[in-house]
């Protein structure tokens, strides 16, 4: 093998120009530069240290009383600091970098100079040709000619400006935003940047070796952001309910505010789906109404039952035709004499209906997953969950709250939470005996058995009740009773289900108070679980009954319209009961507690229950989109009314919740609950309906087909026949969509990605542990060095 | 300029409407802590002191804008963490020591906790958050601890204008 290349190490002994030879292997240079740095900093911070010495003198009595042994190592220099003779040590300590964060402008600027220099190095690697000999070659490439610690304030600022120029625009703006300097300083920096931009811009351009896409992407992103901010400032309508939300946040804090923000998000989702459906399906069918006119007249009762006049209207599936609107062949068949002014554009209604529903679901899915990802990224933190007492002390105060009564309440809440945490720590140190633990487990099991059995009971009750109502309905039809009675009967099942949904959460609250969990968060999560289970199981039963058509809508011709009507009735009843619950649960309770009980205690705003009601309403909308395309519009109206009603009731009747809820984690929980049981269930239901259920023979856009999905097959065959060049489309359709192998492959890829992410997170946790150990070691090193410094200074004084 | 309007209405005789000549006007702390956003906040004096250039608590218009920009929704998290640290550091020695913690607790709970509980809480907080073992919280310790409660910087540490 070849010999290793000759390697000579030229280490300069010249200590004056130690700026360029800053290699850690060169111990002598390191020591001298440290000494010079100390002298430099001490002369610069002379005035600051006088102030510091005075403050330390003032702050000393508090420092003198540490009782625990862990601080004994610190006691020695602490006691030594009392003597004014140790001013050298104090001066040195006062100018340590960790003490100058945010203090002197010079320190901030040099700190940010280092940060931007590091950023610049990361973005552009130096070329290997510029290697010159040194012990640590990687250090040589970088611009270490200027040492910011030595420069004056003006030089430091211009250095920082120079470094900022060489960054990309987005990094530059981010760096400028996060510098903790005053506004005047930032303006001065920006002025310097603008001055230096023209001559240095080109140099930076060459030096950075940019990718043109990267730079233009940054400019576009910046430009968009500027435009958006200007829009927000100009249009108050772009931020609906801004003042109302501010009022709520100011009085009740972030956790109650998150409910209203969730409501706003749901409103946006519904407006979006409604617009898509309006443009592609509803408006066109409205422009070409079907032949037979609506025989029934409008009475007010329709708003409640959704039947009557609404049955043959745009609201339901049955209204939409299965023909191609504006078909040129059809018009030629009818033999119109007048030639059309423009060539007519045919519009295939069944395909449009199916694809629009599919696209709106797909788009909602993407939006949901994106917001889940976004909020999860904000709220999830890799690392241990210990340290809640510290977090409670520093992070519990909500600065948004500005009303005196709410502030007082917040103080009390924090006090209670701190006492609870201390009690928990005390109880953790003395664990429960076996008997007590067994008792606790037994209580827990019993509570869960009770709640599961109530769920089962409710489901069975709903099943038998619906069969009974169906029988009653058939009787009435046979007897030909009045239409009022007939339609009134239709309302009974939704009424019962909504009643159950309203009463059972109160029962679960009672169960929870009996259980008496240790942690209030666990209590809230368990309440959510139970309520969610009840609602989803009841909805599951109803979906089964709708699709099997054995009970509900069994003797209707147009069963899809019937199912749509049922869903409409459920939505309206849900709204009515929410209203009643607000009135009785909040208004009446407050009146009673004020007048009768004479207490100042107002009812609390139960966030979990209200959010679950919102999710339930949204699930109903998603289940019904296929059968009633205008249902998102109904939901939009409902949400608008609900916002104002809930806000008024909140302001008049409620007080903030005393249980601790973290706003960002709540947002994640809400969006996850919306995505997983709710949206997924609705998507499964719709997919099953599209793929396997036979549509009715005489009404709707899919009359006469085997399943709704067959319309796509029909269309694909039509395309194949019309133009033989696009056989790849049918091939795609046959092998990718119909074949299950592709779906299995996709799920396999998804699982692999999830596993990969889990491993990455585990690796990060391990690194965090290692870094924590390193920090502890550095801390010990620092204390050791301070000791040594102190003893050296003492020795010098003794010798002197 | 809504902020200029707010600044002006606190002392209409002193604050000029025209800021193009950059006048040197500072409002004292007493006026500023009467603003509705700050009035009931237990940390109002510390907030105003951390943003004032002279450390006494009087804010010029630039400082005023600084305060609202840091305590707004759009400020970056690192900046907010730096100022949150400054606010909790009562004796401005760049460390949150036990005395600072005691003062914070007293302000948070309006002195409802007993002295023994306060000492216990302070000890436990330092035990939990101090990583380099010097008995007080430096900025790195504080930032690490705050990052475990991400919604504080994003949701709670702000004024809604």
Residues A391, B112: C-beta atoms closer than 8 Å? no
pLDDT band, very low/low/confident/very high, at A213 (cuts 50, 70, 90): low
pLDDT attached to residue A302:
74
Q: Which two tokens stand for residue B14?
A: 């002193």
The residues in A 157-216 lying below 8 A from B, measured between CB atoms, are 174, 177-180, 182-184
CA angle A107, A125, A112 (to 5 degrees): 10
Beta bridge partners, A604, equal A655
State mean pLDDT over A705-732.
Answer: 80
Choose between A676 and A75: higher pLDDT.
A676
Q: Is A395 part of the contact surface with chain B (CB cutoff 8 Å)?
A: yes
Rounded distance, CA A477 to CA A11, Å? 105
Q: What ipTM did this prediction achieve?
A: 0.89
Which residues of B are less than 8 Å from A397 in CB distance? 42-43, 108, 156
The residues in B 127-156 lying below 8 A from A, measured between CB atoms, are 128-129, 131-135, 138-140, 142, 145-152, 154-156
In terms of average pLDDT, the best of A159-163, A213-217, A743-747 is: A743-747
State mean pLDDT over A684-702.
Answer: 87
Q: Which of B112, B154, B157 sits opposite A378 (nearest CB)?
A: B154
Residue A603 host element (H or E): none
pLDDT band, very low/low/confident/very high, at A50 (cuts 50, 70, 90): very low
CA angle B85, B89, B94 (to 5 degrees): 80
Residues B159, A397: C-beta atoms closer than 8 Å? no
- pLDDT above 60: residue A45: no
Share of chain A above pLDDT 90, in %: 19
**Residue pointed to by tokens 């009359």:** A703
- pLDDT above 60: residue A329: yes
Residues A180, B138: C-beta atoms closer than 8 Å? no
Rounded distance, CA A701 to CA A715, Å? 14
Strands of chain B (E only): list them: 26-27, 59-60
Which residues of B are less than 8 Å from A662 in CB distance? 149, 151
Q: Which of B82, B121, B133 sits opposite A180 (nearest CB)?
A: B82
Give yes or no for a contact between A797 and A789, defined as CB atoms under 8 angstroms apart. Answer: no
Hey, of B78, B89, B149, which one would you mutate to test binding to chain A, going by the most A CBs within 10 A of its CB?
B149
When mean pLDDT is compared across A152-156, A205-209, A378-382, the lowest value belongs to A205-209
pLDDT attached to residue A98:
63
Minimum distance, in Å, between the CA of residue A674 and any CA atom of chain B:
21
When mean pLDDT is compared across A98-102, A478-482, B7-11, B123-127, the lowest value belongs to A98-102
Residues B66, A400: C-beta atoms closer than 8 Å? no
Rounded distance, CA A514 to CA A728, Å? 65
**Residue pointed to by tokens 């509803």:** A282
Q: Which two tokens stand for residue B29?
A: 């702390």
pLDDT band, very low/low/confident/very high, at A27 (cuts 50, 70, 90): very low
Give yes or no for a contact between A317 and A627, defined as CB atoms under 8 angstroms apart. Answer: yes
Residues B69, A775: C-beta atoms closer than 8 Å? no
Which residues of A are less than 8 Å from B128 in CB distance? 386-387, 389-390
Choose between A158 and A207: higher pLDDT.
A158
CA angle A330, A332, A337 (to 5 degrees): 135
pLDDT band, very low/low/confident/very high, at A13 (cuts 50, 70, 90): very low
pLDDT band, very low/low/confident/very high, at A107 (cuts 50, 70, 90): low
Q: Which of A178, A393, A402 sits opposite B125 (nearest CB)?
A: A393
pLDDT attached to residue A384:
52
Q: What is the pLDDT of residues A621-670, one digit of tens each?
A: 999 999 999 999 999 999 999 999 999 999 888 887 766 666 667 788 88
Give yes or no for a contact between A397 and B108, defined as CB atoms under 8 angstroms apart. Answer: yes
Choose between A516 and A458: higher pLDDT.
A458
Choose between A199 and A669: higher pLDDT.
A669
Minimum distance, in Å, between the CA of residue A182 and any CA atom of chain B:
7
Give yes or no for a contact between B32 and B59, defined as CB atoms under 8 angstroms apart. Answer: yes
Choose between B34 and A87: higher pLDDT.
B34
DSSP string, A389-441: HHHHHHH---TT---HHHHHHHHHHHHHHHHHHHHHHHHHHSPPPHHHHHHHH
Among candidates A38, A171, A19, A45, which has minimal Cα distance to A105?
A: A45
pLDDT attached to residue A748:
93
pLDDT attached to residue A411:
85
Which residues of B are less than 8 Å from A422 in CB distance? 117, 120-121
Give yes or no for a contact between A574 and A613, defined as CB atoms under 8 angstroms apart. Answer: yes
DSSP string, B143-157: HHHHTTSHHIIIIIS
Give yes or no for a contact between B155 and A663, defined as CB atoms under 8 angstroms apart. Answer: yes
State mean pLDDT over A226-233.
Answer: 72
First vs last C-alpha separation in chain A: 61
Give yes or no for a contact between A180 and B143, defined as CB atoms under 8 angstroms apart. Answer: no
pLDDT band, very low/low/confident/very high, at A570 (cuts 50, 70, 90): very high
Q: Is A379 part of the contact surface with chain B (CB cutoff 8 Å)?
A: yes
Q: Is A782 part of the contact surface with chain B (CB cutoff 8 Å)?
A: yes
pLDDT attached to residue A536:
92
pLDDT attached to residue A40:
56
The residues in A 100-119 lying below 8 A from B, measured between CB atoms, are 100-103
Q: Which of A178, A393, A780 sits opposite B133 (nearest CB)?
A: A780
Among candidates B94, B32, B101, B108, which has minimal Cα distance to B65?
A: B32
pLDDT attached to residue A770:
92
When mean pLDDT is compared across A295-299, A551-555, A561-565, the lowest value belongs to A551-555
Give yes or no for a contact between A304 and A491, defined as CB atoms under 8 angstroms apart. Answer: yes
Q: What is the pLDDT of residues A120-129, one digit of tens each?
A: 666 555 555 5
Q: Which of A402, A414, A425 sits opposite B109 (nearest CB)?
A: A414
- pLDDT above 50: residue A63: no
Rounded distance, CA A495 to CA A486, Å? 15
Rounded distance, CA A493 to CA A544, Å? 15
3-state secondary structure A90-116: HHHHHCCHHHCCCCCHHHHHHHHHHHH
State mean pLDDT over A3-30.
Answer: 41
Q: Is A97 part of the contact surface with chain B (CB cutoff 8 Å)?
A: no
The chain B residue lying nearest A246, using CA atoms, is B160
pLDDT attached to residue A125:
55
pLDDT attached to residue A272:
93
| Average pLDDT taken over every residue of chain A | 75
pLDDT band, very low/low/confident/very high, at A187 (cuts 50, 70, 90): confident
Q: How far is CA A564 from each of CA A314, A317, A323, A616, A754, rounded to the nearest angstrom? A: 12, 7, 21, 16, 38
Residue B57 host element (H or E): none
Residues B132, A776: C-beta atoms closer than 8 Å? yes
Rounded distance, CA A62 to CA A270, Å? 59
- pLDDT above 50: residue A19: no
Q: Which two tokens stand for residue A779?
A: 């801390």
pTM of the model: 0.72
pLDDT attached to residue A307:
76
- pLDDT above 90: residue A576: yes
Choose between A353 and A658: higher pLDDT.
A353
Q: Which two tokens stand for residue A307?
A: 């039947």
Q: Is A783 part of the contact surface with chain B (CB cutoff 8 Å)?
A: yes
Q: Which two tokens stand for residue A504?
A: 């059972």
Strands of A72-200 (E only): list them: none
Rounded distance, CA A561 to CA A304, Å? 16
Which residues of B are less than 8 Å from A254 in CB distance? 151, 155-156
CB atoms within 10 A of CB A357: 22
Rounded distance, CA A131 to CA A140, Å? 7
A621: buried, middle or exposed (CB in 10 Å: 19+, 13-18, 0-12)? buried
Q: Is B72 part of the contact surface with chain A (CB cutoff 8 Å)?
A: no
pLDDT attached to residue A381:
63
When mean pLDDT is compared across A79-83, A403-407, A686-690, B142-146, the lowest value belongs to A79-83
State mean pLDDT over A48-59.
Answer: 44
Q: What is the pLDDT of residues A755-784, one digit of tens each?
A: 998 899 889 889 988 988 888 888 888 888
In terms of average pLDDT, the best of A38-42, A162-166, A534-538 is: A534-538
Q: What is the pLDDT of residues A268-317, one digit of tens each?
A: 999 999 999 999 888 888 887 777 767 777 777 777 777 777 777 778 88
Which residues of B are less than 8 Å from A669 in CB distance? none
pLDDT band, very low/low/confident/very high, at A3 (cuts 50, 70, 90): very low
State mean pLDDT over A23-33.
Answer: 43
Q: Which two tokens stand for residue A648?
A: 């008024």
When mean pLDDT is compared across A151-165, A574-588, A674-688, B89-103, the lowest value belongs to A151-165
pLDDT tens-place values along chain B, 161 residues long: 577 888 888 888 877 777 777 677 888 888 888 888 888 888 888 898 888 888 778 888 888 888 888 888 888 888 888 889 989 988 888 888 899 999 999 888 888 888 888 998 899 888 888 887 788 888 888 888 888 777 788 778 888 77
The residues in B 18-57 lying below 8 A from A, measured between CB atoms, are 36-37, 39-43, 53
pLDDT attached to residue A741:
81
- Give the CB-side neighbour count of residue A736, counting CA atoms within 13 A: 7
How is residue A382 annotated by DSSP?
-
pLDDT attached to residue A657:
72
- pLDDT above 90: residue A186: no
Three-class secondary structure of residue A783 per DSSP: helix
State mean pLDDT over A420-437.
Answer: 77
- Count of helices and strands (H, E) across chain B: 9, 2
């Amino acid at each position: 093998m070849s010999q290793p290349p000759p390697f000579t190490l030229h280490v300069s002994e010249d200590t004056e120009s130690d700026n360029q030879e800053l290699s850690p292997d060169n111990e002598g240079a390191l020591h001298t530069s440290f000494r010079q740095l100390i002298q430099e900093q001490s002369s610069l911070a002379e005035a600051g240290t006088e102030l510091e010495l005075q403050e330390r003198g003032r702050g000393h009595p508090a420092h003198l009383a540490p009782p625990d042994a862990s601080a004994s190592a610190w006691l020695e220099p602490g006691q030594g600091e009392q003597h004014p003779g140790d001013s050298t040590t104090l001066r040195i300590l006062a100018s340590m970098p960790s003490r100058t964060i945010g203090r002197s402008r010079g320190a901030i600027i040099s700190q940010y100079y280092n940060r931007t220099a590091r950023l610049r190095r990361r973005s552009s690697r130096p070329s290997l040709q510029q290697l010159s000999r040194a012990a640590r070659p990687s250090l040589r490439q970088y611009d270490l000619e200027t040492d910011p610690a030595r420069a004056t304030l003006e030089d430091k600022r211009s250095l920082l400006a120079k470094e900022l120029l060489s960054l990309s625009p987005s990094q530059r703006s981010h760096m400028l935003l996060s510098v903790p300097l005053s506004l005047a300083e930032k303006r001065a920096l920006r002025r310097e940047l603008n001055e230096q931009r023209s001559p240095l811009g080109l140099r930076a351009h060459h030096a950075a070796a940019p990718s043109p896409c990267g730079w233009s992407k940054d400019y576009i992103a910046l430009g968009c952001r500027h435009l958006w901010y200007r829009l927000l400032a100009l249009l108050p309508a772009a931020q609906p309910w801004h003042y109302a939300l501010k009022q709520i946040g100011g009085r009740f804090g972030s956790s109650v505010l998150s409910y209203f923000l969730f409501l706003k998000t749901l409103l946006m989702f519904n407006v979006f789906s409604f617009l898509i459906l309006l443009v592609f399906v509803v408006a066109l069918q409205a422009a070409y109404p079907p032949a037979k006119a609506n025989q029934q007249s409008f009475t007010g009762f329709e708003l409640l039952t959704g039947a009557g006049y609404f049955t043959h209207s745009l609201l339901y599936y049955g209204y939409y035709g299965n023909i191609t609107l504006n078909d040129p062949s059809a018009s030629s068949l009818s033999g119109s004499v007048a030639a059309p002014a423009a060539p007519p554009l045919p519009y295939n209604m069944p395909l449009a209906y199916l694809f629009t529903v599919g696209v709106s679901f797909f788009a909602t899915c993407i939006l949901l997953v994106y917001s889940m990802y976004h909020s999860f990224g904000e709220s999830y933190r890799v690392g241990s969950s210990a340290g809640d007492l510290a977090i409670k002390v520093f992070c519990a105060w909500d600065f948004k709250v500005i009303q005196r009564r709410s502030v007082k309440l917040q103080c009390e809440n924090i006090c209670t939470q701190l006492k609870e945490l201390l009690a928990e720590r005390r109880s953790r140190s003395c664990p429960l005996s076996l008997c007590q633990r067994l008792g606790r487990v037994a209580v827990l099991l019993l509570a869960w058995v009770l709640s599961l059995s109530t769920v089962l009971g409710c489901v069975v009750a709903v099943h038998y009740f619906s069969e009974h109502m169906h029988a009653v309905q058939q009787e009435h039809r046979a007897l030909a009773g009045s239409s009022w009675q007939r339609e009134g009967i239709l309302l009974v099942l939704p009424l019962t289900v909504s009643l159950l949904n309203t009463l059972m959460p109160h029962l679960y609250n009672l169960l929870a108070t009996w259980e008496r969990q240790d942690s209030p968060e666990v209590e809230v999560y368990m309440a959510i679980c139970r309520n969610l289970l009840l609602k989803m199981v009841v909805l599951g039963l109803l979906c089964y009954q709708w699709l099997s058509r054995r009970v509900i809508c069994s003797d209707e011709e147009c069963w899809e319209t019937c199912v749509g009507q049922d869903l409409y009735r459920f939505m309206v009843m849900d709204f009515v009961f929410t209203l009643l619950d607000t009135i009785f649960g909040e208004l009446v309770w407050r009146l009673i507690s004020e007048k009768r009980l004479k207490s100042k205690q107002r009812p609390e705003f139960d966030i979990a229950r209200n959010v679950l009601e919102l999710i339930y309403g949204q699930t109903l909308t998603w289940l019904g989109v296929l059968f009633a395309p205008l249902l998102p519009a109904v939901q939009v109206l409902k949400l608008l009314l609900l916002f104002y009603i809930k806000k008024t009731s909140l302001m008049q009747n409620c007080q903030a919740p005393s249980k601790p809820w973290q706003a960002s984690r709540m947002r994640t929980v809400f969006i996850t609950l919306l995505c997983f049981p709710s949206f997924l269930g609705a998507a499964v239901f719709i997919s099953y309906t599209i793929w396997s259920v036979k549509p009715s023979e005489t009404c709707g856009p899919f009359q006469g087909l085997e399943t709704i999905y067959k319309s796509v097959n029909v269309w694909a065959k039509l395309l194949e026949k019309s133009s033989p060049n696009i056989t790849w489309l049918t091939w795609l359709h046959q092998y990718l969509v119909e074949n299950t192998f592709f779906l299995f492959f996709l799920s396999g890829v998804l699982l692999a990605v999830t596993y990969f992410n889990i491993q990455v997170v585990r690796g990060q946790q391990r690194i965090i542990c290692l870094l924590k150990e390193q920090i502890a070691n550095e801390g010990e090193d620092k204390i050791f060095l301070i000791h040594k410094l102190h003893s050296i200074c003492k020795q010098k004084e003794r010798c002197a | 300029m809504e902020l200029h309007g707010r600044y002006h209405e606190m002392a209409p005789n002193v604050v000029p409407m025209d800021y193009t000549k950059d006048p040197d006007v500072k409002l004292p702390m007493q006026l500023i802590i009467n603003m509705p956003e700050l009035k009931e906040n237990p940390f109002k004096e510390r907030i105003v002191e951390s943003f004032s250039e002279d450390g006494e608590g009087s804010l010029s218009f630039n400082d005023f804008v600084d305060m609202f920009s840091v305590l707004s929704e759009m400020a970056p998290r690192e900046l907010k963490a730096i100022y949150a640290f400054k606010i909790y550091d009562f004796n401005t020695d760049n460390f949150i020591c036990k005395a600072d913690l005691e003062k914070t607790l007293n302000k948070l709970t309006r002195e409802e906790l007993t002295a023994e509980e306060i000492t216990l809480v302070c000890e436990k907080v330092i035990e939990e958050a101090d990583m380099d073992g010097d008995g007080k919280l430096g900025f790195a310790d504080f930032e690490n601890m705050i990052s475990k409660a991400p919604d504080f910087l994003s949701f709670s540490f702000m004024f809604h204008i």
